Amino acid sequence: MKRTTQIQQKLRPYLQTLPAIFNYQIITKVILAIWIFLLGKIFQILLRSSGRVAVTSGDWKFLFTTWQGLLILVLGIVSLYVYIAFDLNAMIALCGNLLTGGKSSIEDCIKNGFDSVRRLNNLRGLLIAVYIALIAPIIGVGISISLTEGLYIPTFISSVIKGSVLYSALSGVAVLIFLSVGIANLFILHGIVLDGLPAADAGKQSRQMMKVNWKDYLKQNILYILTIACLLVAVSVVFLFLPLKLISVLSLPRMIKRLLTVFFVLAGVVISILADLLSIPMYLFKMTQLYYSYKQGREFEFKVYERQKHTGIKGAAIFMIIAVIVAAALVYHQFDQIFPIESNVSIIAHRAGGTEAPENTVSGLETAWNLGAYGSEIDIQRTKDGYYVINHDGTFQRVAGDKRKPQDMTLEEVKKLSVDGEPVPTIEEMLDASSGRLVLFIELKGKTADRKMADDIVNIVKERQMEEECVLISLKYDLIDYIETTYPEVQTGFLTFASFGRTADLNCDYIGLEEESATTDAISSIHKEGKKALVWTANKKASQKFFLCTKADGLITDNVSQAVDLAEKLQNRSDLDIMVDRIKTVL
């Protein structure tokens, strides 16, 4: 009993802050949503004035070479500061207020957040903002803003880094440097917000604090994370896993089982959203308590309030329960439409047959066909004498041990090379091998990817009357735009790993999204414009399953047999599995 009382006393300061933090999060998230909406409209006006509908990874120079692009960059930097003011500075002010028993209102904390962000209006402050917005979310250390919390290194870049000892070593060194900088300066915003220090002085104070207290900081963090994890597990077990397990083992009518499953899964979604909404603010609360402790050289004593009846919290809880019940009833009646059991995502083999066959070869196409793939993606480049051969890299070094570039060789010279015992094929050979069986996604690749290549490939495809069996794709939007405008009868696809604006309005038939940017909203936007969405290149089992449960039109992968097997297994899922898989694609 004494142990239980001690735990309650330790948790009470955190629990008593929940109403204020929850209210703050709701208010600021609404404000930030309005800000992003208005910013998006401004961006669209600027893009339209430049003759564009979006800026993509293939058109990034626009941001630095036009006044519209420069203005977009400036507004983007302003947005970083706005988010830091709301997500971090004002929240730190609120945490300090709650810890010390201050009487400041949420409005006062927001004002404090914006006042303190002005101390970041210098080069040092800009570096701090960039670290918070870009570096912290990638390396996973330090506090970051909600705008960029999902930032990532694209898979095709990370795979290149992992495939090179030199790049891996350099990236490891860079991560260590950023980790050291991030840990040493963890309390820099606290010094700026709570003590009104300039950025330089706040940084110096933070480094001194961490130098003395880094062991305690690690200990406190581990204990805090374990405590929160245990609480979340306990809540999940009691309110989600146990009820769902009982539903699965009890002999109930299928109708009742489905209705109860829907209710508890939706309840789990609500719990997950609340946990996500409160996790960062509660961690900032803990960091603020540590900041005060390290500053005064002893453990900071929380200001514990008298117990109050939070009728508003009870009312909100009752409202959420009623809302979940109503939502469950509506979802139950539309279950099969909302949660289709079968996947309609076409599986496309990367580089002809993925990793299950020699890269970019005729046998790769045979393998893809035998495995049940819908199509194959291949890469073409032009030789010195004007022929088109299949190769991905800038040279043949990796696949054939020859350092020469395709554009520096004749077709005869290329044909002497061997890829795992097979000759390098021409585009004509690949078309003949795929005709009537596979849809070829032909990527116009390298320095020879120009309008001449586009014209030549279109003619070759037309000669074989394979317009419906081929899609010309590229990372170069101007080239895809040219093909779509000049040859509307030919299918086209633009590949992008980063974009903003109305990407779905780009002039093409397919839009290929790098897997981390292929969100449900992005896919939905593409479909609304009458286009098809490709996802590239999903190789891990979890990633493949995720996208097979979306409404993407195609999934490009190196592991074809794994994806085909997963697609078949999806047809034998329970109602619970179907709901969980689908909800994962939305949250």
Q: Using DSSP bridges, classify how beta strands 439-444 and 532-536 pair: parallel, antiparallel or unpaired.
A: unpaired
Residue with the bigger pLDDT between 305 and 21: it is: 21
Tens-digit pLDDT profile for residues 297-333 = 888 877 655 545 554 567 777 888 899 999 999 999 9
Quick one: 486 and 505 in the same domain? yes
Give yes or no: residues 189 and 94 share one domain.
yes
Does the structure show a pLDDT above 90 at 341?
A: no
Measured CA to CA, the distance from residue 506 to residue 499 in angstroms comes to 11
7 pLDDT higher than 80? no
Cβ-count burial 232-263 (b if 16+ within 10 Å, e if not): eeeeeeeebeebbeebeeeeeeeeebbbbbbb
CA distances (Å), origin 55, targets 45, 72, 146: 13, 10, 22
CB neighbour list of residue 484: distance below 8 Å, 6 or more residues apart = 490, 492, 507, 508, 509
Q: Is 356 buried (19+), middle (13-18) or exposed (0-12) by CB count in 10 A?
A: middle
Question: At which of 291, 306, 336 does a domain end?
Answer: 336
User: Does residue 204 sit in the same domain as residue 185?
Assistant: yes
Question: At 419, which helix (H) or strand (E)?
Answer: strand 418-419
Q: Where are the alpha helices (DSSP H) in 372-489?
A: 397-400, 411-415, 427-434, 451-463, 477-486
pLDDT-wise least confident of 8-12, 160-164, 554-558:
8-12
* pLDDT tens, position by position, 25-54: 999 999 999 999 999 999 999 999 998 888
Does residue 288 register a pLDDT over 90? yes
Q: Give yes or no for a contact between 511 and 531, defined as CB atoms under 8 angstroms apart.
A: yes
Q: Are residues 301 and 350 in the same domain?
A: no
Confidence of residue 6 (pLDDT cuts 50, 70, 90): low
- State the pLDDT at residue 1: 46
Segment 466-521, tens digit of pLDDT: 999 999 999 999 999 999 999 999 999 999 887 878 888 999 999 999 888 898 98
341 domain-assigned: no
- Of 274, 307, 336, the position where a domain reaches its end is 336
Q: For residue 9, what pLDDT is reported?
A: 59
User: Is the pLDDT at 581 greater than 80, yes or no?
Assistant: yes
Per-residue pLDDT of 168-206, as tens digits, reads: 899 899 999 999 999 999 999 999 999 999 999 999 999
Residue 144 and residue 280 in contact, taking contact as beta carbons nearer than 8 Å: no
Check whether residue 324 and residue 353 sit in a common domain.
no
pLDDT at residue 479, rounded to an integer: 96
Quote the domain boundaries for residue 383: 346-584
Exposed/middle/buried for residue 328 (C-beta within 10 Å: 0-12, 13-18, 19+): buried
pLDDT 10s digits, 193-247? 999 999 999 999 999 999 999 999 999 999 988 988 898 899 889 988 999 999 9
Asked if residue 260 and residue 127 are part of one domain, the reply reads yes
Query: Are the beta carbons of 144 and 133 closer than 8 angstroms?
Result: yes
How would you class 27 by CB atoms within 10 Å of its CB: exposed for 0-12, middle for 13-18, buried for 19 or more?
middle
Residue 497 is assigned to a structural domain of this protein: yes
Which of 336, 369, 390 delimits the end of a domain?
336
Looking at the fold, whether 150 and 169 belong to one and the same domain comes out as: yes
In-domain check, residue 305: yes
The amino acid at 522:
A
- Read off the amino acid at residue 459: N
Here the tokens at position 351 are 């580089």
CA dist., res. 189 & res. 178, Å (int) = 17
Mean pLDDT over the full length of the chain? 90
Residues 270 and 417 in one domain: no
Give the separation between CA 558 and CA 441, rounded to whole angstroms: 14
Do residues 371 and 444 both lie within one domain? yes
Question: pLDDT band for position 104 (50/70/90)?
Answer: confident
Q: Structure tokens of 521?
A: 């909203």
Distance CA 364, CA 20 (A): 60
Per-residue pLDDT tens digits for 357-391: 999 999 999 999 999 999 999 999 999 999 999 99
Spatial contact of 428 and 460, defined as CB atoms under 8 Å apart:
yes
> Domain count of the chain?
2
* 330 and 350 inside one domain: no
Report, as an integer, the average pLDDT of 438-464.
97
Domain assignment of residue 246, yes or no = yes
Residue pair 476/56 in contact by the 8 Å Cβ criterion: no
Query: What is the rounded distance in angstroms from the CA atom of residue 158 to the CA atom of residue 281?
Result: 31
Tokens linked to 442: 């032909």
pLDDT digit string, tens, across residues 398-411: 999 999 999 999 99
Q: Find the CATH number of the domain harbouring 542.
A: 3.20.20.190
pLDDT value for 306: 53
Which pLDDT value is given to residue 299? 84
Q: Which helix (H) or strand (E) holds 439?
A: strand 439-444
Q: Is residue 161 part of a domain?
A: yes
Domain identity same for 160 and 109:
yes
Whether 46 and 144 map to the same domain: the answer is yes
> How do residues 410-448 score in pLDDT, each as one tens digit?
999 999 999 999 999 999 999 999 999 999 999 999 999
**186 in a domain, yes or no?**
yes
Residue 546 lies in a domain: yes
- Does the residue 561 lie in any domain? yes
Which pLDDT score, from 0 to 100, does residue 314 have?
74
Q: What is the mean pLDDT of residues 92-117?
A: 90
